[in-house]
Copies of this chain bind each other. A is one copy, B any other.
Amino acid sequence: MRAGVDLGGTKIDVLMIDGDRDVIGRARQRTPTEGGAAAVVDAIARTVEEAADDAEAGIDRLTGVGVGSPGAVDPAAGTVGFNSNLAGGWVDPYPFAEELARHVGTPVRVANDVAVAASAELELGAGRDLPSFLAVWWGTGVGGCVVLGGRRWEGNGASGELGHTVVKLGGRICPCGRRGCAEAYAGRAAMEARARHLHERGQRTKLFDLMRKANRDRLTSGVWERALKEDDALARELIEDAYDAIGAACASVVNLLDIDGIVVGGGLGTRFGPTGAGRIREKMRPHIFNPTRDPPVRPAELGDDGGAIGAALLVR
* A258 touching B159 in the complex, CB below 8 Å, given contacts A148-B153, A176-B289, A290-B72: yes
- The one of B157, B178, B289 in contact with A287, judged by C-beta atoms closer than 8 angstroms, is B178
Q: Is A144 within 8 A of B256, CB to CB?
A: yes
| A289 contact set on B, CB distance < 8 A | 158, 161, 164, 176, 178
Q: Is B164 within 8 A of A167, CB to CB?
A: no
Q: Is B167 within 8 A of A169, CB to CB?
A: yes
Which residue of B is nearest A287, CB measured?
B166
Within 8 A of B (CB), among A242-265: 244-245, 248-249, 251-253, 255-260
What sequence of 0s and 1s flags, for each residue 59-78 of chain A, a beta carbon within 8 Å of any chain B beta carbon? 00000000000001000000
In the complex, whether A202 has a CB less than 8 A from a CB of chain B is no
In the complex, whether A312 has a CB less than 8 A from a CB of chain B is no
What sequence of 0s and 1s flags, for each residue 230-248 of chain A, a beta carbon within 8 Å of any chain B beta carbon? 0000000000000011001
Q: Is A165 within 8 A of B255, CB to CB?
A: yes
In the complex, whether A227 has a CB less than 8 A from a CB of chain B is no
Q: How many residues of A contact B (CB 8 A)?
A: 49
Q: Is A156 within 8 A of B258, CB to CB?
A: yes
| A155 contact set on B, CB distance < 8 A | 132, 257-259
In the complex, whether A48 has a CB less than 8 A from a CB of chain B is no
In the complex, whether A286 has a CB less than 8 A from a CB of chain B is yes
Within 8 A of B (CB), among A150-192: 153-162, 164-171, 176, 178-181
Q: Is A158 within 8 A of B287, CB to CB?
A: no
**Residue of A162, A257, A291, A293 contacting most chain B CB atoms (<10 Å):** A257
| A248 contact set on B, CB distance < 8 A | 166, 169, 180
- The one of B157, B180, B244 in contact with A258, judged by C-beta atoms closer than 8 angstroms, is B157
| A215 contact set on B, CB distance < 8 A | none
- The one of B166, B255, B257, B260 in contact with A251, judged by C-beta atoms closer than 8 angstroms, is B166
| A291 contact set on B, CB distance < 8 A | 82
Q: Is A169 within 8 A of B252, CB to CB?
A: no
A279 to chain B, nearest CB (A): 15
| A259 contact set on B, CB distance < 8 A | 155
In the complex, whether A146 has a CB less than 8 A from a CB of chain B is yes
| A158 contact set on B, CB distance < 8 A | 258, 289-290, 292-293
| A144 contact set on B, CB distance < 8 A | 256
A255 to B156, CA, bound (A): 11
| A167 contact set on B, CB distance < 8 A | 166-169
Q: Is A168 within 8 A of B168, CB to CB?
A: yes
| A256 contact set on B, CB distance < 8 A | 144, 146, 159-162, 165, 253
| A154 contact set on B, CB distance < 8 A | 258
| A293 contact set on B, CB distance < 8 A | 156, 158
A151 to chain B, nearest CB (A): 10
Provide 7 A-B residue pairs closer than 8 Å at the C-beta atoms, listed in order of the A residue.
A82-B291, A153-B257, A155-B257, A159-B257, A164-B252, A180-B248, A181-B287
Q: Can you list the 5 inter-chain pairs with the closest CB atoms, starting with the nearest?
A: A155-B258, A159-B258, A161-B255, A166-B248, A164-B289
